[in-house]
Each structure stands twice: as structure tokens, then as C-alpha cells.
Chains A and B, each alone.
Chain A
Amino acid sequence: MNIIVNGISHQLSSDQHETILSTYLREELKLTGSKIGCGVGVCGSCTVLVEGRALRSCKLKLKDLDGKSILTIEGIHGSEGGIHPIQQAFIDVGAIQCGFCTPGMVLSAYALLLSNPHPMREEIRQAIKGNLCRCTGYQQIVDAIELAASRM
């Protein structure tokens, strides 16, 4: 079994089948950008992309991800290196406070813009509905995603 994380293929041993993806990412690969806010799949802070879809890594087991391609916040970047336009937009409009939800939010936004490059604000809200943020009230996060879409 193997999984591809941010473009790098990793072999998995049989005793890792039951391992939760978020644990694997954080503890084995030391990719700590995925945060654990609830551990039960309801806050979205551990969001990663699996084959382009935003999923909660705390709810996924490695055995269900054989051959799959995973993108984490550490694997996101702009077309010429540097940070991605979504990330830049988050910075520019002040969409970040404590930052604990931010990686998950950026990835949910990333998945949205893959399938819908010019979403309405209502569609943006729907797309980040699974991502809790206690700090921002979401207003500037929606602004950021809208701004990123207009720049991309």
C-alpha cells in the first residue's frame, strides 16, 4: 500500500492500515499544518484534499487511501512558487486571527475554486460550512475567497 502526500509517495506497512490520516500526517510525516480541533469530523480544522476533494483527515483511515493523492497545507503554493493566491488573499483582507482554522479554511477554499472558479458569496459560505471558525465570524474569510477567485 502507498499514499501520495504533496506529490511524494509513501509506502505503508500493514500495521499502519488502521492509522488515522491526521495522526499519520502530524506524527509520522511531521506535517503539523493540519490541526485537530475536535477529532470527530465536525470542525474542519484537519481538512486536507484527497484527489481534489476537501475531506476531514481525522475521519479517514490509511487503508482507505491506497494509491490516493493527498494535498495538505504544506503542499499548497503559487504557480511560480511562493504562496498561493488564496493564501495571499487571506493575508490581505485580514481573514486570519488565531489561525487554528486557517489551514483547513484555505484547503476548503482551494477545493471550491477547483470546481467553481467564480463562486457567489452564498456558495462560498456553503463550501466552508464544515469549517468552524470561532474568531472571525467568517466575514473576512468569505471576502478572502472572493478576492482570491477574482485574482486567479
Chain B
Amino acid sequence: MKPATAFRNDALAKVTGRAKYTDDLELPGQLHATVVHSPHARAEIISIDVSLALQAPGIVAVFTAKDVPGKIRFGQIIQDYPVLTDKQINSTGDVIALIVGSTREAALAARNLVKLEVKELHPLLDPEEAIREGAPLVHDWHGSNICNTHHIRSGDPDLGERESTHILEAEFITQRIEHAYLEPEAALCNLRPDGVMEVYGSMQHPFSTRRFVANTLGLPLADVEVKTIPMGGGFGGKDDTAALVCARAALCAYLLNRPVKLIYSREMSFRESYKRHPYKITYRLGLDDDGLIRFVKVRILADGGAYCSVTPWVTWRSTVQCCGCYQVPHVHCDTYGVYTNNVFSGAMRGFGSPQVNFAIEQLIEMAGEKLGLDEISIRRKNMLHQGSTTITGQVLDTHIVSLKQVMDRVLDQINYSEKRKQCSFGKGEGELYGIGFAISYRGMSLGAEGVDLNSAILNVQPDGSVLLETGIHENGQGSESAMILIAAEELGLPRESIRYRLPSTSNIPDGGTTVASRGTIMGGGAVVNAAGILKKLITEALLKHHPQYSVLPSDTTLVFADKLISTADRSIQVSWLEAIRLCFANQIYPYAFGVFQAPNVSWDEETGQGNAYFTWVYGCQAVELKVEPRSGKITLTNLVAAHDVGKAINPELVKGQFYGGMAMASGYALLEDCRVDKGMVVPSNFHNYHLARATDLPEMTAIIIENPDPNSPSKAKGIGEPTNELMAPAIANALYHATGKRCFKLPLKA
């Protein structure tokens, strides 16, 4: 039987149903708002008539763009995303009016009473069409439908062509998918008597939410306080849309001076929230007779939809990682993020790597096959190892490059070589069998595109208990628990003495968004640094004021362990509580503010060269599957993953990330497809958008690899996203080994 090892500070509240999510909260006198979406993907607004809606029973107010006191548009990179649409409709997710009622039912019932008069325009729905010369512009002021570009120019691809004896060309298409966090967007806002707009909501970036709210209301950041409460999943998806939902509730609360709750239905969430970018990726790759890749030319086209969101950042990661985890001397990459009138695309767990991995991890096997090399040998020949130079010119020598280690562990665990011989390749009677795998490397945290900084506060109370807060957000992944464990270890205290306090944007500096698997590495780094400051402060207090310690040299280092603070030889020791009392008695606050700044990264936009990320993680996943030849039904029978996490702070929760990532990626591979029709999202709920259920998934094995990372103060790296970027190519490879057919398009069909 499993030992009881998982630790979550919020487990009891969640398992008893006592944890309060946004819709579970209630403020006295609260009103209920709802949204009216545009029925058109592209149109000019002539008029919006709300008079009928205003007369409906229980309706308190109806607001449109003209009621916005601050700025209508906002965005993390380009300010193109309207809180309420004023002139030009760009998507069927645009919100043209907010209805506020005394009950949710009243507000919902009045939605079709808002009369919208428009001039319909031809919507741009295909990114290739959108970037053609003379195409109408989604946003006139941007001057182009190309939202952003990235390039890599390394080596001499023409020389690479001449050095190559084998050429492969292939095009890969990946679909749009929905995050499908189980709790839809939600917000509850209240204008406090002191003039501060207080925001509770289901979002994963409280500081971005604060900016969206302040921008909409025209208030300084200090007048908006976002408090974070339990939220039902994010996966990168609760940034822009979730922040705007908060801004809309805040707008109503501000204009009416009453608490306002705005809860999205699943249908609204599907319709409006941003998705994973659909990609079209075109490769030309050359190898020499030894099976070494000489060059890669790649064009990446990402449908960003109607608004920019973080498309430039997502496509940047795809660019940096466009050759997968392989050494390629000559690279030419052009990446385009494109505006269309489709539902917009943004951050989603994996952030631009699931798409390129789907392509490159098949391409490498196709290349091997062409040269008569098996899929393991071709990878071994070309993969990055200790001291290798990446395609952006970064030398991998500041951490352990464990690519081969993770691959060997997985192949060994699943008994790959033996099972590979049993693959059907489309032959034989009855059920077909296949096994496959994929490997990757992934840059940690934001990399050279973002400001990467985080902080932590440790505030020791007079009874020795500790309040901890960081700029990292609990999305459900267990970040608070990881922070508590790191603090406990650093301070030598039991985790019970550390309380993670309800975080508020008014209490701790902006720590950026909790995405990019940066929670543990960045927040944990800040906790370690805060603990370091605190320990120094307590040490100084003891050396100065404690009779036994004051005889020691002033540079003595004390050991914090087992609730004791002792000399290295343990000859002198005092309890934690005694030391804290001594601090207070001598007018010293045992309080520390720690910062972790990501080590230097660099990037040249012209050439695509630089130290893109300050450290990297390595992973491998493998799958076994069966295919029923007549129906094409694919059944997964075994999933195995190994990831280098640096150090596993909370191993059971780390495994939870492995399992959840593999499950979500299996859905990406086989089940999920968020189709759009004339710009409108077709799936509306979980009856016509299929997530993997317990019966769709086999038993999974999680292998944690630990190579402590010197770039990370806690030695840990991230794990949320790496687990979600490999299963699609692994399944595609297994499917090929089962059926003998390559699949260039997601979701996969046998």
C-alpha cells in the first residue's frame, strides 16, 4: 500500500467541499451580471439599443462600451482586447453589452433583448488568406494581419543543402483546443468604502487582472486589490479572458456601487475564452550519409485569432524550439503569428511546444527510416548532450543535460526494444499493436521574452509561527504547498508552523504570471533567498544578544534544523522559539523579503540568436496502443514518462503533474478539436467537446529524475508543461508502428 506522503495545505478544505471558489462566495446586496456576445465574427456596429432589456423584470442596468470610464482596450503585449466592443466587432467572442440584474436568472433572461444593428463584413478565417497581399485588415491600426514574426538565421542553410544527401519535406497541422478548466470564468467585485475595488475571481494572474481592472476603471493600480482564492484549474487559460471577466464585474460594481458577481456558463467560456493556437508547420530537413542533420528550414504559421494576447511569446518558444532537442548547424526559421476573425489564441500549458514537438518528433523518425536507422539511433546521433550548442547559439553547460538519461529510463521501463518487434505495421489479423515515444527539451520559465522576477515574504510571529507569501499563484497545482515545504526545509521547521497567507496584489510586489512552469523555480527561489535573509538576521541577533553565542566569532554560520538553531558541532543550541523571542526582545523583526531574479538571458530578434532560457528541462514519454482496424478505434494501453525536475519538492504532487499532463496530451492527440465555423466556436460544452475520461486512459507510470539545478536556489525546476508536450508525437509514432501510416494532422485518426 502507498505510504501517505502527499502534502497539500488546501487538501482538507477541498475534499470536504468547504473550499470557497468564486461562485461560492456571497456579499450582502450583491447583483448578478451577464454578458451579451456578438453573433458576428466581423462587423461594424451601427447601434446598440438596450432600452427593451432595461425594462425587463429584475434588470438594474445595462452597460456598453460608452460607459467605460477608463480605457476600452487592453492587452499584455498589444492593447487590442476590448472589455466591451465599441465600433468594430472582430470575433463572436466579443462582448457588446453587460446586463446587471437582481438575480442571475433575470440577467440571463434579458440577454436577447439587446438589439444590435451592424454592417456585416467578410470575416478573415484562414491565416494564409489573411496574410495574402491586399487582404482586408482585422485591425486597421496595426497595418498588417501579421501580428508578429520571429526568425532564426544560424549557419548557412545553402551550405547545409549541399552537405545533405537526404532531404525530407513535410507539413504538419495542429488543431485548436480548449483548456477546459473545470471551473468556468468567474468574478465577484466590490467597491470598498475606502475607494479600493476589491476583486475575487477565478484567474491565474492576479497582477495582470489588476492591470486589466485598473485600465478599465481608469484607477491607479493601488486602488485595485485582487485577492486570490481557490480556483478550478487554469492551464494557462485563465489570463486575458479571466482578467477581462473580472474587469467587467468590476465595471458594473464601480458604476452601481454594489457588489457584482459575474459567472460564466460553460457555453460562454467555450465561446469567448482563448484557445491553444492551431499551427501549420512546414519543414525541409537535410541529413548526410552518417545520419547527422545538416540543416532545417521551417515556416511556422500560427492562427492567433482576433486579439494578440500572448501570441508573440507563444510563437517565440516555438521558434527557439523549432528543431526539437537536436543539434542542427544550419537553421532558417520564419514564424508568423497571424490575426484572423477566429476566436483568439493564447497561453496554454505547453505554450508553443506541443505543436512543434508533434512535428519534429515524427520528422526525426521519418529521417531515420530514410537512412535505415532505427528511431533510437537517429535520436542518439543528433540529440543535445552536455556542452552542446543549441540552434540559438546557447551552450548547455550550466546544468546537467539529461536527455539521454530520461530517454534510456523510459525505454528501459517500457521494454521498448522487445515490444517494438511486436508492432503490426498494418499487417496481421485483427487488432493492430504499436509502441512509440518522443523526447524533448524545454526552456524553463519565461526566457528572453519576459521580465522574470519573483519575491517572497517570511514574517515570523512572536510565538514562532511563520506567515509566508509569494508572488506565485495557486492554480491547483500545489504551488503553495511546494513553497511551504521549501520554507520548512530552509528554516528547519515542521511544515505545520508555516501558514501560507491569503495572497493579495496589495501586499506583495508583482511576481509576473504563474505560467511557463515557473512557479516552483521562481517562487521557490524567492523563498530560499528570503529564508537566507531571515536566517542571517536571526544569526546576527543571537551572536549579538545571546550570552552563549555572543562569544563566537562574528562570521559564525549557524545550522537551522529540527526547530533548533545550533553551531555546526551542535555544542551550543537554542530553540527556534527562544531565538524568535530574543529577536523581539531586542527590537528586531524576524521578517524577510526575498527576491529571485532569473539569471541573465539574451536574444537578438534579427538573427534569433542568444541564451534563450536560463536553464532547460528534459523529458521522454512512451505509449503502447491498440488499433481496431475496421473502426479505427485507438485504445491506449500503457503510458510511461520520465522528466528531470531538478529536485522533487513534493513527489506525489510532482507525479500528479506527470499524470495530468499525459492525460491532457492524450486528449490533444486523439479526442479534442475545438472547431470553428465562420469564426464561431462549434463545441459548446462537454457533450460535444470530449475530454479524456477515466475509462479513456490506461495506467500510467511516472519516473522522476533528479539532477539538482545550480541555477535554481531550491534546485528544483518546473514540471507543469513538459509533461504536456510529448504524448501527441509519441502516440503518432506508435500509431505509425501499428498501422504503417504517418499522421501529419491532429487530432490523430487511424
Contact = CB atoms under 8 A, between A and B. Distances in A.
Bound together: yes
Given A73-B16, A100-B233, A125-B694, A91 B11 contact: yes
Contacts of A134: 179-182, 233, 235, 660, 664, 691
A34 B19 CA distance: 11
B106 to A, nearest CB: 14
B694 A101 contact: no
Interface stretch (B387-395, B403-411, B471-479): B471-479
B18 interface: yes
A107 to B, nearest CB: 9
A98 B475 CA distance: 7
A110 interface: no
A124 B181 CA distance: 23
A138 interface: yes
Contact of A140 (B16, B18, B652): B652
Most chain B C-beta atoms within 10 Å of own C-beta, residue among A34, A73, A96: A96
B659 A91 contact: no
Contact of A94 (B18, B656, B700): B656
Given A136-B656, A139-B700, A140-B652, A100 B693 contact: no
A135 B656 contact: yes
B10 A99 contact: yes
A94 B15 contact: no
Interface stretch (B20-28, B61-69, B142-150, B566-574): B20-28
A138 B694 contact: yes
Interface stretch (B1-9, B70-78, B191-199, B284-292): B1-9
B706 interface: no
Contacts of B685: 38-40, 42
Given A73-B16, A98-B476, A137-B664, A40 B2 contact: no
Contact of B660 (A32, A97, A100, A131): A97
A126 B694 CA distance: 7
B20 A32 contact: yes
A140 B24 CA distance: 26
Contacts of B476: 97-100, 135
Given A100-B21, A100-B232, A140-B652, A90 B11 contact: yes
Contact of B662 (A100, A137, A140): A137
A34 B17 contact: yes
B68 to A, nearest CB: 29
A70 interface: no
A33 B18 contact: yes
Contacts of A40: 266, 685-687
Contact of B231 (A32, A98, A147): A98
A132 B653 CA distance: 19
B551 interface: no
A57 interface: no
Given A134-B182, A136-B659, A99 B265 contact: no
Contacts of B183: 35, 37, 98, 100
B19 A147 contact: no
A103 B699 contact: no
Nearest to B656: A94
Contact of A91 (B12, B21, B184, B478): B12
Contacts of A150: 1
A62 to B, nearest CB: 16
B582 interface: no
A128 interface: yes
Interface in A25-66: 26, 30-40, 42-43, 45
Contact of A136 (B12, B14, B660, B693): B660
A137 B594 CA distance: 35
A96 B12 CA distance: 10
A137 B659 contact: yes
B686 A43 contact: yes
A97 B478 contact: yes
Interface in B115-148: none
A133 B182 contact: yes
B230 interface: yes
A92 B1 CA distance: 11
A37 B26 CA distance: 19
Most chain A C-beta atoms within 10 Å of own C-beta, residue among B23, B182, B659, B686: B182
A90 B15 contact: yes
Interface string B684-699: 0111000111110101
B742 interface: no
B15 A83 contact: yes
Contacts of A73: 16-17
Interface string A66-110: 000000111010000001000100111111111111110010000
A2 B232 CA distance: 33
A99 B664 contact: no
Contacts of A135: 182, 233, 476-477, 656, 660
Contacts of B5: 92, 94
Contacts of A34: 17
A96 B182 contact: no
Contact of A132 (B8, B235, B656, B691): B691
A10 interface: no
Contacts of A126: 694-695
Contacts of B652: 93-94, 140
B399 interface: no
Contacts of B266: 37-40
Contacts of A33: 16-18
A45 B182 contact: yes
A131 B695 CA distance: 11
B663 interface: yes
A42 B6 contact: no
A128 B26 CA distance: 31
A100 B233 CA distance: 8
Given A33-B16, A134-B664, A97 B656 contact: yes
A28 B10 CA distance: 26
Interface in B181-220: 181-184
A102 B18 CA distance: 11
Nearest to A37: B182
B499 interface: no
A18 to B, nearest CB: 12
Contacts of A121: 699
B337 to A, nearest CB: 26
Contacts of A93: 2, 4, 6, 652
A129 B16 contact: no
Interface in B23-63: 23-24, 26
B694 A94 contact: no
8 contacts: A87-B15, A94-B6, A124-B694, A132-B693, A134-B660, A135-B233, A137-B662, A137-B663
Given A35-B21, A129-B694, A137-B662, 19 more contacts: A32-B21, A33-B18, A37-B686, A74-B16, A87-B16, A91-B6, A98-B234, A99-B10, A100-B183, A100-B232, A100-B476, A125-B695, A126-B695, A129-B693, A135-B182, A136-B659, A136-B663, A138-B697, A141-B694
Interface of B: 1-2, 4-6, 8, 10-21, 23-24, 26, 179-184, 230-235, 265-266, 475-478, 652-653, 655-656, 658-664, 685-687, 691-695, 697, 699-700
Top 6 closest pairs, chain A to chain B, by CB: A33-B17, A98-B476, A100-B232, A99-B14, A94-B6, A137-B663
